[in-house]
Structure 1
Amino acid sequence: MVNRSDVHYFGAGPAPLPTAVLEKASQVLLNYKEKGVGLCEISHRSPEANEILADTKQAITTLLDIPDDYEILFLQSGGTGEFSATVYNLVSIWVEKKRAKIAEEVGDDQAEVLKRLRQVVAEELKLDYLVTGSWSLKASQEATRLIGAKHVNVALDARKANDGKFGVISAEDQWSLTPRASGGGPAFVYFCDNETVDGVEFPAFPKSLEGDDAPLVCADMSSNFISRKVDVRKYAVIFGGAQKNVGNTGIAIVILRKSLLPPSSKGASPDLLRELNLPVGPIVLDYPTIAKNNSLYNTLPIFDVWIAGQVMAGLVDAYGAKRIGGQEEISNEKSRLIYDTLDKYSNVYRVVPDKTVRSRMNICFRVHGGDADKEKAFLAGAEKKGLLGLKGHRSVGGIRASNYNAVSLEGAKLLVAYMEDFAKSA
């Protein structure tokens, strides 16, 4: 029998979890707080469930230093569901702001308001997408499916600068963002901070999205969540599926400006959206509804929230005043060790993305230029060493070492030692 301590798992998601959290989970699944029932059996509306929600919110707030004017939501849609949720919620807010402005100008003439609003939507509604990998591409495709191609502006398609493949992020002066002059601009700008499949990570927040007239920014941080410092104030919406770096499969975490919620802001009515041929989102993806009900509008999987809370509380305890900066140091060190080895043996290994945008979380490379037999040999040898989950995504192949928080420094060093041995014997 293979023991958990015998292996180091580099899978991209579902990803490894801290052993201590899983050991505690095995206990609370049977008997939570000596109540005689397991954590999966308690009511999501019980005091215990509300306590878990509060503790998990506090842990993430402490780690990322989330300001008081932000709300934290838990949804069951995963990161993919948020591709849709961002469109539903933020387009609705954009439309309502435009309607209110027109109504100020024309008064109570509802027919005229609707006429002008139709024109504004047709001519001005744009969603900007920075497509740097497979997941941001899927997000842009979902937006196109929901509201139509004419409203979706792919301001950056990274493949155009890299022979049709992902692996670079073009300079910002080459992006075609929707102009923000004279009160215009997109309903939001969307980017994926770390592309799990393609191993591309934004090295920093884009400068072109900063400033007093900055648009609403939505960022998918599924696979680099709680791995480095984040200036939350620069974002309108941050979301991530838990299963890559925070917990197990089942929830998405959303960090949202409260100014996008009632009473500060509201979206267009469903009737108005239908009049404008724009989609009305399902209630389970409606941010105001989820926020109003403390993420408990429908039955939330409290066990999944508990796991995420335990993972993040462990980081709070481990790093203290450093907060997420402590984990960032470890993440950077692990990725440095692996990339240094790949570069050292460049005759054997080739890192897929450009050096300027290499992901610290998902390290994608090829062996002997992508030789199928050599890569199979690499994976087989790694498995014999207890180094698992290294096969690249099915859409791109190759090797992928996902360097998530639960991968220990020891595990990274063992992978490096194996890579050294393989390169020398190849």
Structure 2
Amino acid sequence: MKHNFGAGPCILPSSVMQQAADAVLNWNDSGLSILEVSHRSPEFEEVVLKTQLLVRELLNVPKNYSVLCLQGGASTQFSMIPMNFLQGKTIASYLDTGYFAQKAIKEARLFGDVEIVGSSRDKDYAYIPDHYHVQHASAYLHVTSNNTIEGTEIFDFHDTGVPLICDMSSDIFSRKINVRDFDLIYAGAQKNMGPAGMTLVIVKNDLLDSVKHQVPSMSDYRIYRDNQSMFNTPPVFAIYVSMLNLLWLKNEGGVEGIEIQNKKKAQMLYAEIDRNSLFVGNANLAHRSRMNVTFRMRNPEIESDFLAFASERGMVGIKGYRTVGGFRASLYNALPLHSVKALVKVMQEFEALQTQ
């Protein structure tokens, strides 16, 4: 049996995979594949609407926010955000908490001045900066709620008096949030929502209406809002599978229910890391991610031995990111608790072998 701890594209529920596979061959008994159906058909327009309504229901999205299904992955948002909201403004503020925050900062600098209000680079991004000041004149503050590579997560979001924009690619739908705390949330689908190919954007309409300058059509959030996310051909299959996955999440007790399960999984694995004489966690205790658990061997010389040992026992995707090394176990919504138990058992068995 395989246990998929991959960081993304990640594990999806087996029931969702089966429904998606059936739809590839014959969608809704139409005689057509979901891959070839017209995105302008009433049937697919209903899929987009249902997906948006599920997002609103599961996250309790207020009426004055728009829900958009876009293409390009979260990385496209790194440039779309400053293109829409920084141009013509004095400065934008960014919190530097790791690899993807750095990528967002790099793109923003193409459109205006960027102030890094806090950074955890001094400790290899093992923590989240808590104390920082944002200029009142700043166009927005950009944060990354969960750092997939470094294994840290923001649990409290500060009100700084400027619009708050958040990259939630790797922890959206994993825990309760107050959407009203944010002016724009974006997330690549390939963690907790669906397959790669779709990007979710939840944006306050007041923020969109504040944009007065011209923006290229394919990068203008207002155009996607006014065209119900279908200004051009949308990522049909990714949206459809995301809809199926959100229905699965709803049936699992919604975000509130899955958060309980995610806490159990993370607590179990971190407890073993802290107990086991061979391993040590990477992130500071207060900022440990529930989605991406990063850890390493106390003796780096046996890391490859453990990786081989774990792979032989069905553990998939636990090798750490290439710039960090060590190990990373991603505990996304669809990963069952028994997979975490299996990984813990492998860690215990390897410890027993090393201490004989």
TM-score range for the pair, normalised by the shorter chain length = over 0.9
Q: How many residues align?
A: 354
Which residue is equivalent to 2:25?
30
Q: Which amino acid aligns with 1:171?
A: D
Taking the TM superposition and a 5 Å limit, the aligned residue runs for 1:52-67 are 52-67=47-62
The Cα offsets for residues 348-372 of structure 1, whole Å up to 9 and x where unpaired, read as 1110111110000000000124x1x
Task: Measure how far apart 1:166 and its partner are.
Answer: 1.0
- Considering only CA atoms, is the larger Rg found in Structure 1 or Structure 2? 1
Quick check: 1:128 aligned with 2:93? yes
Structure richer in helix, relative to its length = 1
Q: Which amino acid aligns with 2:151?
A: G
Which residue is equivalent to 2:148?
196
The answer to whether the 8 A contact 2:70-2:235 is kept is: no
Candidates 314, 324, 330, aligned match of 2:255:
324
Question: In structure 1, how many angstroms separate the alpha carbons of the residues matched to 2:344 and 2:194?
Answer: 26
SS at match of 2:141: strand
Quick check: 1:71 aligned with 2:82? no
Task: Measure how far apart 1:177 and its partner are.
Answer: 2.0
The answer to whether the 8 A contact 1:362-1:402 is kept is: yes
Unaligned runs of 5+ in 1: 1-5, 96-120, 271-280
SS at match of 1:147: coil
Question: In structure 2, how many angstroms separate the alpha carbons of the residues matched to 1:50 and 1:254?
Answer: 18
Question: In structure 1, how many angstroms separate the alpha carbons of the residues matched to 2:42 and 2:338?
Answer: 40
Task: Measure how far apart 1:169 and its partner are.
Answer: 1.8
Quick check: 1:251 aligned with 2:193? no
Question: In structure 2, how many angstroms separate the alpha carbons of the residues matched to 1:311 and 1:87?
Answer: 31
Task: Measure how far apart 1:21 and its partner are.
Answer: 0.6
Q: Which amino acid aligns with 1:349?
A: F
Which residue is equivalent to 2:236?
302
Question: Percentage identity across aligned positions?
Answer: 34
The Cα offsets for residues 138-163 of structure 1, whole Å up to 9 and x where unpaired, read as 1111111x124xx1000011113x2x
The answer to whether the 8 A contact 2:127-2:287 is kept is: yes
Which residue is equivalent to 1:343?
274
Question: In structure 2, how many angstroms separate the alpha carbons of the residues matched to 1:415 and 1:30?
Answer: 35
Question: In structure 2, how many angstroms separate the alpha carbons of the residues matched to 1:269 and 1:390?
Answer: 45
Which residue is equivalent to 1:177?
134
Q: Which amino acid aligns with 1:393?
A: Y
Task: Measure how far apart 1:33 and its partner are.
Answer: 1.1
The answer to whether the 8 A contact 1:331-1:405 is kept is: yes
Which residue is equivalent to 1:399?
327
Question: In structure 2, how many angstroms separate the alpha carbons of the residues matched to 1:422 and 1:52?
Answer: 47
Which residue is equivalent to 1:240?
187
Which residue is equivalent to 1:354?
284
Candidates 267, 282, 300, aligned match of 2:216:
282
Question: In structure 2, how many angstroms separate the alpha carbons of the residues matched to 1:58 and 1:176?
Answer: 36
Question: In structure 2, how many angstroms separate the alpha carbons of the residues matched to 1:417 and 1:187?
Answer: 49
SS at match of 2:35: helix
Taking the TM superposition and a 5 Å limit, the aligned residue runs for 1:362-401 are 362-369=292-299, 371=300, 373-401=301-329
Question: In structure 2, how many angstroms separate the alpha carbons of the residues matched to 1:88 and 1:66?
Answer: 25
Question: In structure 1, how many angstroms separate the alpha carbons of the residues matched to 2:111 and 2:79?
Answer: 10
Question: In structure 2, how many angstroms separate the alpha carbons of the residues matched to 1:387 and 1:311?
Answer: 23
The answer to whether the 8 A contact 1:75-1:285 is kept is: no
Task: Measure how far apart 1:90 and its partner are.
Answer: 1.4
Task: Measure how far apart 1:268 and its partner are.
Answer: 2.9
Which residue is equivalent to 1:114?
none
The answer to whether the 8 A contact 1:30-1:38 is kept is: yes
Task: Measure how far apart 1:266 and its partner are.
Answer: 4.3
The answer to whether the 8 A contact 2:83-2:111 is kept is: no
Q: So what's the TM-score if we normalise by structure 2?
A: 0.96
The Cα offsets for residues 7-56 of structure 1, whole Å up to 9 and x where unpaired, read as 11000011111111111111111111111110010111111111101111
4+ residue runs of structure 1 moved beyond 6 angstroms? none
SS at match of 1:244: coil
Q: So what's the TM-score if we normalise by structure 1?
A: 0.81
The answer to whether the 8 A contact 1:199-1:362 is kept is: yes
Q: Which amino acid aligns with 2:185?
A: I
